[in-house]
Amino acid sequence: MQKIVIAIDGYSSCGKSTTAKAVAAELGYAYIDTGAMYRGVTLYLLEHAIAFHDLPKVEEALHDMQITFRRNRQTGRNELCLDGRIREDEIRQMRISNSVSEVSGIPAVRHALVRQQQRMGRHRGIVMDGRDIGTTVFPDAEVKVFMTADVVTRALRRQEELAIKNEHVTVEEIVENLQKRDHLDSTRSESPLRRAPDAVLLDTTHMMIDEQVDFVLERVSAALFSRAAGAAG
């Protein structure tokens, strides 16, 4: 059966990554967390004391750094590697969350990572989640889902994720961070966060992960059936 591209876009902490990973596992597809890639760039710039507005230095850093993914056999997760080191835990810290939207709005960063993401998905058979997958990275994706949720619900989910990693942050701080990121992501000039015209809306405020996964898989089944019917006809 011919493989397709599944693009899952939307706001932070809506369940995009968890849903995308589960859908990829169900289908035997590759999964790419593009948000992790932007977090990796943010971590690199912070660790090397490179100012976000110093564009020549940022471009030099993009040339020097290496961002890849490595599968953790124990957890089954793809973990981000920065220059050969797994940095999955570090990129999820609040200090990275506080800066990643600013970094991801830098055109040079956007262009470099979009090119890499397109190379990753050139053979199809991929589930990719982020902010601009269905609009910029793969505008021809066969399945596009745009996820949203109430900001307080998102904050509570994010707080729980951070607590598991022993990072304790108030809901109020997280809400403020999410609202700031939503604004920056939606208003940036380069590939802003927006719903593609042909993307189906999925509000996860009152949904369990299994329900979200089933929702996406139903769209995948419909897309595959449509392609098969078209090929047969």
Give binding residues for ATP as ranges: 10-18
Query: Annotated binding site: which residue ranges?
Result: 10-18
Sign of CA dihedral 87, 169, 15, 35: negative
The answer to whether the CB of 34 falls within 8 A of the CB of 8 is no
Alpha helices in the chain (DSSP H): 16-27, 34-47, 55-64, 88-91, 94-97, 100-104, 107-120, 151-164, 171-187, 209-232
Are the beta carbons of 148 and 14 closer than 8 angstroms? Answer: yes
Beta bridge partners of 148: 203
